[in-house]
Amino acid sequence: MKTPKISEAVIRRLPVYLRYLQHLRDLNITTVSSHELGQNLDMNPAQIRKDLAYFGEFGRKGIGYDVQYLIEKIKQILKLDRRLNVALVGAGNLGTALSNYNRYTNEKLKIVAIFDSFEEKIGTQVGTLEVLPIELLPKMVKELDIKMGIITVPATEAQKVADQMVDAGIKGILNFAPVILKVPLDIPVRNADVTTELESLAYYVD
């Protein structure tokens, strides 16, 4: 094991670094310093160096970081170098919107199945995927080796869906419903509730 215990804060910054590095690569920039990264991402350069140093020595003293190399390394750390299949439950407006994100997303990380419990939704087409009945979740998780789940159902349904996901063997959940989900300790959950975000912003406004 190379990793001691990395804090969640560190892990959450890695995708931000990754995104900006990919942007630099698109601009044909081959080398970048922690100072430049810090300037553009509004972060402390020491923090960036420290974050990266948890996982190895990726830079060169006096030079900086090779953009392409660092991209590859961060992808390895985040396990974005291998296929990661995602299930989405809740084929409403938000679910449909997110399923279109597939295109922008890293090609290794993909929504491969969409579920709903609402009779009328089932069988409808969302992008290239057909909405399946939630009952098929366990079967599809096994068949497609689905590792993560996105919850875009109403708050009242969210806990039930989370339970079903966990039972089916899903290992991580991105939850858009405004509830705190009860899941086993080893299943990470990210909450992405829009109302909560807006309400906390309200404090600073006016």
Q: Which residue among 29, 63, 97, 180 contacts DNA (CB under 7 A)?
A: 63
Can you tell me the distance from the alpha carbon of 81 to that of 54, in angstroms, rounded to the nearest whole number?
19
Q: Does residue 126 come out as left (phi exceeding 0), alpha (psi in the -120 to 50 range) or beta?
A: beta
- x/- track of binding to DNA for residues 147-176 (CB under 7 A): ------------------------------
Binding mask 73-112 for a copy of itself (x = CB under 8 A): ----xxxx---x-x-----xxx-xxx-xx--xxx--x---
Closest CA to 141 of 98, 170, 183, 110: 170
Torsion sign over Cα 25, 31, 34, 38: negative
Cross-strand pairs, 65: 32, 59
Residue whose tokens read 């190895």? 56
Would the annotation count 191 as a binding residue? Answer: no
Query: Which residues lie near a copy of itself (CB under 8 A)?
Result: 8, 11-12, 14-16, 18-20, 40-42, 77-80, 84, 86, 92-94, 96-98, 100-101, 104-106, 109, 147-148, 150, 155, 171-174, 178-180, 182, 188, 190, 192, 194-206
